[in-house]
Amino acid sequence: MAHPLHHAESSARKFGGVPDDYQFVHDWFDASKEHLAIFTHRAHRHHTLGIFEAERLFGRSLTNSAGRVVPIRWIGEQHVREDCQGRIPSLADWLGRIQPEPWMANGGINNDPTQIGSDPRAAWIEAVANHQTILGFEDWLLKVSVEHVQHRQNRAAA
- Per residue in 68-89, pLDDT (tens digit) is 999 999 999 999 999 999 999 9
What are the DSSP E strand ranges found in 34-98?
Answer: 61-63, 69-71
Q: Which of 101, 102, 114 is nearest to 145 (CA)?
A: 114
H helices within the chain, ranges in order?
4-15, 23-29, 48-58, 72-83, 91-95, 120-129, 137-157
Predicted TM-score (pTM) of the model is: 0.68
What residues form DSSP beta bridges with 69?
Answer: 63
Measured over the CA atoms of residue 158, residue 140, residue 115 and residue 109, the dihedral's sign is positive
pLDDT in tens, 93-149: 998 888 777 777 766 555 555 554 567 778 888 888 888 888 887 888 788 878 877
Q: Which of 72, 42, 78 is nearest to 58 (CA)?
A: 72
Return mean pLDDT, the chain: 88
Locate the domains of the chain by residue range: 4-99, 128-157
